[in-house]
Amino acid sequence: MPDAYRKTLIRQISQHAHSEVVGMLPEANWITRAPSLRRKVALLAKVQDEAGHGLYLYSAAETLGIDRSELVGDLLSGKAKYSSIFNYPTVSWADMGAIGWLVDGAAIANQVMLCRTSYGPYARAMVRICKEESFHQRQGYEIMLSLANGTAEQKQMAQDALNRWWWPSLMMFGPTDDLSPNSAQSMKWKIKRKSNDELRQEFIDKTVPQAEFLGLTVPDKDLKWNEEKQGYDYGEIDWEEFYNVVKGNGPCNKQRLSDRVKAHEEGAWVREAANAYAAKEAKRKADKVQAA
């Protein structure tokens, strides 16, 4: 295995894993304030799923010969990157709908493509994740449906969430192809099977009709169906905002990191308890053998 291939995969898979884990935070924010029990169990299950997704991906990264503690350490020290979409705040319940529908929707477009990635353990993790991810998107869209078909206030809340999450979701696909530094090499190695712009176009074409069904307006005045290309033309993405958030100046970067560090530190007793229990059981087994 070429060392550069190995290194780029470790970087990509671990960033993907970190994104899942950090991605739990914006939605966990609303679990205690879900408007019904049905919404609460669904959101709780989704957030639990994301933890599991992080696990599958850390495990896939480890097959490349890197230590789990090093990966986790890099996240907590702020050295490692994760998807910048998770640096935005969730300010209303409608954000739960918008995130499930748009953010998971964009993730699905990327992840379906990655099911054919050249590295087996990564592809297999993607297959499993894709199966689970579709519940996430349906859960989100159901929330949007309820709000859009509710009171005028609820519909406005849904529109507001769409307004805030639309462009950041498009940015999830990364820079345009001509400005994406890693893309060419990743495509050559068949790690990446479709380009950023290709996936972004796919996502837009699939999602705009879904917004129209909701009776909501996509916040892009330049959005227009192009009959010739059989797809939507769309407006300019604010790349300054994108790079600013990637650099660490997004609204929630600091909070996300400190929440992760806090979770790790406050979870130390669980790890210690597990170790103590394992030691106790091992001793119990050894004593039994001796007594026999």
Partner 1 sequence: MDKPNDNWKIWEVFIRSKNGLSHKHVGSLHAPDADMAIKNARDVYTRRSEGISIWVVPSEAVTASSPDEKEPLFTPADDKVYRHPTFYEIPAEIGHM
Binding region for partner 1 (CB under 8 A): 48-49, 52, 55-56, 59, 62, 68-69, 73, 76, 124-125, 128, 132, 264, 268, 271-272, 274-275, 277-278, 281-282
CB closer to partner 1, 184 vs 278: 278
**C-alpha angle with apex 201: 13 to 227, nearest 5 degrees?**
165
Cβ proximity to partner 1, 184 vs 274, nearer residue: 274
Q: How far is the CB of 107 from partner 1 (least distance, A)?
A: 19
Long-range contacts of 59-66 (CB under 8 A, 24+ apart): 59/121, 59/125, 60/13, 60/17, 60/119, 60/121, 60/122, 60/124, 60/125, 61/9, 61/10, 61/13, 61/14, 61/17, 63/121, 64/6, 64/9, 64/10, 64/13, 65/6, 66/10, 66/14
Enter the tokens of residue 39: 């919404």
> Least distance in Å: CB of 282 to partner 1?
7
Residue 179 or 276: which CB sits closer to partner 1? 276
For residues 212 and 281, which CB has a smaller minimum distance to partner 1 in the complex? 281
CB of 63 to partner 1, least distance (A): 8
Minimal distance, residue 274 CB to partner 1, in Å: 5
Nearest distance from residue 265's CB to partner 1, in Å?
8
Whichever of 72 and 157 has its CB closer to partner 1, that residue is: 72
What backbone torsions phi and psi does residue 189 show, to the nearest 5 degrees? Answer: -85, 5
CB 199 within 8 A of CB 172: no
